[in-house]
Structure 1
Amino acid sequence: MYGPQIDPANIRDQDLDEAAYQGERMLAWLDTAQEELDKIVGTGEAADGQVRATVDPNGRVLDVAYGPRALRLGSHKLAEETLAAVGAACADAERQTHDLMREALPGYDPAAASAELERLLGDDWR
């Protein structure tokens, strides 16, 4: 996980200073990175490229396009493939966001940060 591993029972001034420095660094990065984050567009495909989707960094669908053979899939299969393409596009946008964060914040691990947040919040946050 990003940041120091602080023992709550034994917090030192040095630990607090390091946490404050990292927090300031993250806020500074967020100020400058918002433009880069806003440019992220995730793309995904399904049904052998017959269904293509694009999403913004928040997972909002920007576009869904169908190839000429997509309608041969039938309505239920087309719906499944559309959801698969959107899911792949969301995963691509998330990967791009994490890449930007790792570049700006060396040592940051999005998966570990997410797991730690879930651990701290428990099941009540969902």
Structure 2
Amino acid sequence: MNGPAQPLGYDILYFWASWCGPCKMSGRSLDRFEVEHGLTDKIRRINVDEHPRLVSQWYVTAIPALLIVSDGEVRWRWSGTFRGSQLRRALEDCRLSDLSATLNPAAGSMLGPGERQFDYHSNAQERA
């Protein structure tokens, strides 16, 4: 198993629908990622048709959508199909961000709400 070296301090929210073709592709990638990394208790699958209030609460505007959440704050967001490697890099980036804030509290305190989110859309091709 290629699980995380330390317990994962995040929840992963996966928004999907049964009628969504890209959701089926991404869902299979997420299933493999979940098993390979031992994250069965960290991934929450949310059917958008059954839970419209959660869709609204988390500002999901397109599916499939994947969010990494810590303490009620979105740390990373992705809409569209994805690969497990993208999720792995996002989790690593979130950990590095946390480590940096721990080692340099002054830098962490300068960040405002939402500024800790990562935008993989801008360079998705080069990171894929």
TM-score (norm 2): 0.26
Structure having the higher strand fraction is 2
Q: TM-score, normalised by structure 1?
A: 0.26
* The structure with more helix, counted as a fraction of residues: 1
